[in-house]
Amino acid sequence: MEKTIPGEKFDLGVCYYPEQWPEAMWADDYRRMREIGFTIVRMGEFAWNFFEPEEGVFTFDLFDRAIDLAHEHGLQVILGTPTATPPAWMTYKYPEILNATFEGVQYQHGLRRHYNYSSPIYRDYCAKITEAMATHYANHPGVVGWQIDNELNCEVNVFYAEADHKAFRTWVQEKYGSLDALNQAWGTVFWNQSYSDWEQVHLPRPAPTKSANPHQALDEKRFISDNTISFARLQSDILRQLAPAQWITTNGMFGHLDSHALTDELLDFFSYDSYPNFTTIWNDADRRDPLMDRSYSNQLTKIRSISPTFCVMEQQSGPGGWVNTMGQSAPKPGQMRLWTYQSVAHGADMLLYFRWRTATFGTEIYWHGINDYHNRPNRRVAEATTISRELGKIGELIAGSRFTAEVAILHDYDNEWDGEFDIWHGPLTKESEYSWGKALQFSHIPYNYLYVQEKTTLGDLSRYKVLIYPHPAIMSEETAELLKQYVAGGGKLIFGARSGYKDQRGHCRMTPFPGLVAELCGITMEDFTLVLNEATTPHMRWIDGGDEASTPARLFNDILHPENDNVQTLALFDGDYYAGKPALTRNPYGSGEAYYFGAAFSREIADGLIRRLGLAPATTGWAELPPEVEVAIRVKQDRRFAFILNYTGKPVKANLLQELEDLLEGEQVSVGELEIAPYGVKVFAL
């Protein structure tokens, strides 16, 4: 079942913390929210002490009043379960609920997310608070849905409390059944690691070097993901049972969590927290023409693979920063609106700003919301009002429509998690996804992510003309078979270096590289090498390239050997001891083609492939756009909506080839030059 926002309507709102403000301010806050046009607020997610001030004593007075008043003002309420912030009385009494570092040092009270998911005591407390809140608010007409916890696996996504080691032991026991099977899977014969008693089995622990058993390290991530889901399930089961009329979601996409399984199994839809200004501090300075805030489109693309329509539970509205870290520059006038439409263009049908007013105390005194401390009108309130008016006009029209794309990047959790540890393939995937995302973005070719899962079908793949699976080192027989069927049926599939050589345990296969996809690609690897020195990295040169610049074949080189006459070599290495050997090949297979590139993809190489594959911009026939803008198209029945987003602080010029209806301005725009304002947005009906 697809996990989408219920109903075809658009809700715009804001995160609100009634417990942080004098009660006398609430009515005016709600009145002004409605004045802006907000219809929804989220609250409660850090307020455990207000719901259970002491063990077993549940009180709802403050939130009853806050929710009743919101409802009276016509605001719907999303309630967060407060389990991201266990109270001091609890952690003091039961320190075993706290998380610990890899070295075993216990975290303490004083920030948030300091707990572990494994402690039966903590789980019990979480069940009780969820039960109490669900019972109390199940039939409140103002409460429409629930957010479980807050940002599962944010801030810390590894867990080393005693309870975690124990839970991991149970998990491996269930997975492997016997110590023999565990020893086999983890290859413990290597360096005499074999276990002879389950009690000896732990999560990775400190050892003489920073390394660990790689198979154990992969299982650790799988365990964390399963454990997070089982922690959330405890709450979702209670909510489903006690509050069946209200929907359930959770927010944020973080490491070591299969957010697809989490959503499929527990939630009605997924929610994301979008802070595009993180790129002003996290942008990798050495990248040429960086994507900056536009890279959040790639994030939203991943979210859309979980929920075709989703909620942005926290959309950046002001400058971000904790007191001592994450300081960011202020969003420029227009960027809050731009980022809102970035989310909407990618599938958000519900969006809440973080936050109504900047906190005057605590870690986030510099994480600015729509209102400043002084509470007087400012440019962010004005911008929110404009957005709200616009979405009031077009929200219902576009709600429920689906982003459309002919290309997808394949991704999977096993390779993500294994690649975090394995430096022979993980860094390649990061580089290649970034490059492909950028090349497709700048070419105005919308793309999706498709996460390869056990339940993935040929039908899921066949929706796309072209699939890019950059570096699937781990591959199951089933996935290899599915990919073959996709290509045989006419699909075009592109692999990068290090594909297909590991099994699901992370063991290397004793067949020539690229293992399970060798036959599909019609090649084997003659030789291979890590490429460590940027300055001496060999280039690849297109055989049909004419003047096309040769480009570095980065990070890893697989030197390819065509295994049959049908395999066409498209590019050669032009450096090192393998100069003149094939770097990129194409193998006709059934009605389709399999490509193999023996390195990580750069934007230039992705561009070259886009040209040779004949992929056309989504604007073909109706517009010509400059590279500075992104285009996204959402479709509902026979209606198509095109979003055009200018990420620069300068006006840019587009060329319309057709007369189009500008939905935000409510007017027809004629053929010819069209100026898009700095940080400007256009929404056209096609």
CB of 152 to ligand GLA, least distance (A): 11
From its phi and psi, is residue 113 left (phi > 0), alpha (psi between -120 and 50) or beta? left
Q: How many residues bind ligand GLA (CB under 6 A)?
A: 7
The residue type of 41 is V
Using an 8 Å Cβ cutoff, are 317 and 274 in contact?
A: no
Question: From the CB of residue 143, how many other CB atoms can be counted at a distance below 10 Å?
Answer: 25
8, 68, 264, 364: which one contacts ligand GLA (CB under 6 A)? Answer: 364
CB of 640 to ligand GLA, least distance (A): 33
d(CA 652, CA 135): 54
Is 628 tagged catalytic? no
Question: Distance between CA 2 and CA 34 in Å, rounded?
Answer: 31
Q: How far is the CB of 302 from ligand GLA (least distance, A)?
A: 16
Q: Which is nearer to ligand GLA, 77 or 521 (CB)?
A: 77
Q: Residue 150 or 305: which CB sits closer to ligand GLA?
A: 150
Q: Which residues contact 425 (CB under 8 A, 6 or more apart)?
A: 415, 418, 419, 471, 473, 498, 556
Catalytic residue among 151, 390, 416, 630: 151
Distance CA 524, CA 601 (A): 19
Of 155 and 624, which has the nearer Cβ to ligand GLA? 155
The C-alpha angle 429, 435, 440, rounded to 5 degrees, equals 125
Q: Which residues contact 288 (CB under 8 A, 6 or more apart)?
A: none
* Residue 10 vs 354, nearer CB to ligand GLA: 354
Beta-bridge partner residues of 596: 495, 585
CB of 247 to ligand GLA, least distance (A): 19
Q: Do residues 578 and 540 touch, judged by C-beta distance below 8 A?
A: no
What is d(CA 302, CA 307) in angstroms, rounded to the nearest whole number? 9
Name residues contacting ligand GLA, limited to 77-136 (CB under 6 A). none
Question: Phi, psi (5° rounding) for residue 79?
Answer: -105, 130
Tokens of 25: 């301010």
Terminal Cα distance for the chain, rounded: 29
149 lines the binding site for ligand GLA (CB under 6 A): no
Q: Which is nearer to ligand GLA, 275 or 528 (CB)?
A: 275
Compute the least distance from the CB of residue 273 to ligand GLA, in Å. 4
By CB under 6 A, residue 343 contacts ligand GLA: no
Q: 660-662 and 629-636: which strand pairing?
A: unpaired
Whether 65 contacts 25, CB under 8 Å: no
Strand blocks (E) in 563-680? 568-573, 582-589, 592-597, 623-624, 629-636, 639-646, 652-656, 660-662, 667-669, 672-676
Cβ proximity to ligand GLA: between 213 and 250 the closer is 250
Q: Does the protein bind ligand GLA through residue 150 (CB under 6 A)? A: yes
Choose between 138 and 365: whose C-beta lies nearer to ligand GLA: 365
- The DSSP symbol for 636 reads E
Q: Toward ligand GLA, which CB reaches closer, 341 or 354?
A: 354
CB of 252 to ligand GLA, least distance (A): 6
Does residue 220 carry a catalytic annotation?
no
Q: Are 335 and 293 in contact (CB under 8 A)?
A: yes
Q: How far is the CB of 151 from ligand GLA (least distance, A)?
A: 5
Collect all residues with Cβ–Cβ distance below 8 Å to 486 and sequence separation of at least 6. 458, 461, 462, 467, 493, 592
* Residue 258 found at the interface with ligand GLA (CB under 6 A): no
Q: Does 151 contact ligand GLA by CB under 6 A?
A: yes
Q: How near is the Cβ of 323 to ligand GLA at its closest, in Å?
A: 11
Q: How far is the CB of 88 from ligand GLA (least distance, A)?
A: 19
**In terms of residues, how long is the chain?**
686
**Both structure tokens of 120:** 């039966």
16 in contact with ligand GLA (CB under 6 A): no
List the helix and strand counts (H, then E) for the chain.
19, 28
Q: How far is the CB of 147 from ligand GLA (least distance, A)?
A: 10
Q: Which is nearer to ligand GLA, 319 or 545 (CB)?
A: 319
Residue 354 as a binder of ligand GLA (CB under 6 A): the answer is yes
**Nearest position to ligand GLA, beta carbon:** 273
User: Read out DSSP for 459-509?
Assistant: HHHHT-SEEEE----B--HHHHHHHHHHHHTT-EEEE-SS-S-B-TTSPBP
CA distance 436 to 50: 48
Using the minimum distance from each CB to ligand GLA, give the nearer residue, 336 or 405.
336
Q: Active site residue: 52, 314, 431, 433, which one?
A: 314
Q: Which is closer to ligand GLA, CB of 123 or CB of 368?
A: 368
CB of 364 to ligand GLA, least distance (A): 6
User: Is there binding between residue 367 and ligand GLA (CB under 6 A)?
Assistant: yes
Per-residue binding string, ligand GLA, 276-315, x by CB under 6 A, is --------------------------------------x-
How far, in Å, CA of 380 to CA of 392, rounded?
18
**Catalytically annotated residues:** 151, 314
Which positions touch ligand GLA (CB under 6 A)? 150-151, 273, 314, 354, 364, 367
